[in-house]
Amino acid sequence: MRARPAPAATRRRRRRWVTIALFLLPALVLFLLLVVAPILVAMYASAFKWNGFGGLPTDFVGLDNFTRLFGTEIFRADLWHLVVLVAFSLGVQLPFSLAVAMLLNQRIRGRALYRLVFFAPYVLSEVIAGVLFSLILAPDAGMANQVLGLVRLDSEWLADPDTVMPSLFLVMSWKYFGFHMMIYLAGRQSIPDELIEAAKIDGAGPWQAFRHVTLPLLGPTIRISVFLSVIYTIQLFDLVWILTGGGPSHASETMAVTMMEYGFKRSQVGYASAISVVMFVLSLVFALGYQRFVMRRDLEGATTSMGGPR
């Protein structure tokens, strides 16, 4: 027959759990109030036709807001803009950030200054960056047109539906490539130089050493960078709102901008809540799927594969 634990041991164990609970309680309360509660309220409001005033909504419409949402050309365009920005980010911005990080890892004069200059835009708020580039890309008196007008390459930039998305991506890259560059630089500096030297002794050139040694060991860092880039793009709002407001003619609108437009300008809070639920579901599905199929090896401690689980 197993002996019962001593009363003193039971009291110590109870005090330990009480201490853990007291430390976790503030964070848990904040999480419930600031994360879980808004999600539940948005899900609830998305099933009603509600203008946001007069107490809780009562005009139940079921899934009509979602049916209307996916039936509108504006929201379908928002999804396409998301795909375009994600493709540009993964295909241009992140490789460029990686290339700059590899360059600044070399022993070059002034590399500390270059790192500071490239990282500085990330420190600025999205509002400051948006106002700055709205002045630079202004159609008439903007700096970009004054310079490029000398070679007849001036453009409407933010006012032309054909150029507004590339212009928006340019601003996004300026703002965030330094952040990803620093992530890649930190990942590269965590790789022992002995591995690179061993590859060179075995006859590997600079590109072969990068392709077969550096890049695989940077796999976890790259996967984190991709994850952050996609999640940010799904929730993109500040830069678009300041630069274009979603225009011209919805050509640069994102889901967050559409939600803002309908929720706060048109007082269609139920419809805007449906948009927020779609954004939440997209982010959640991507995050869970990405961690399950791409980052599983990293979460289990493996660091040597660029691909997902094998």
Residue 53 has pLDDT above 80, yes or no: yes
Provide the token pair at 21.
């609970």
Please identify which residue in the block is written with the tokens 């946001």: 52
pLDDT in tens, 24-40: 999 999 999 999 999 99
pLDDT in tens, 118-154: 999 999 999 999 999 988 888 777 787 777 766 666 6
Closest CA to 209 of 183, 191, 186: 191
pLDDT of residue 203: 86
Start-to-end Cα distance in the chain: 47
CA Rg value for the chain:
25
Residue ranges of domains in the chain: 73-299
Residue 309 has pLDDT above 90, yes or no: no
For the residues of 55-108, what is the DSSP string, one character each?
A: SS---B-TTHHHHHHHTSHHHHHHHHHHHHHHHHIIIIIHHHHHHHHHHHTS--
Burial of 130 (0-12, 13-18, 19+ CB in 10 A): buried
For 250, list phi and psi in degrees, rounded to 5: 65, 15
Residue 93 is which amino acid?
A: Q
Q: How confident is the model at residue 74 (pLDDT cuts 50, 70, 90)?
A: very high
pLDDT in tens, 190-227: 999 898 889 888 888 888 999 999 999 999 999 999 99
For 48, list phi and psi in degrees, rounded to 5: -130, 155
Closest CA to 222 of 186, 248, 257: 186
Q: How confident is the model at residue 307 (pLDDT cuts 50, 70, 90)?
A: very low
Domain 73-299 sits in CATH at 1.10.3720.10
- What percent of the chain is predicted at pLDDT more than 70? 92
**For 92-119, what is the mean pLDDT?**
92
pLDDT of residue 156: 78
pLDDT of residue 144: 79
pLDDT of residue 223: 93
Residue 238: partners with Cβ closer than 8 Å, 6 or more residues away: 125, 126, 127, 130
Residue 66 has pLDDT above 50, yes or no: yes
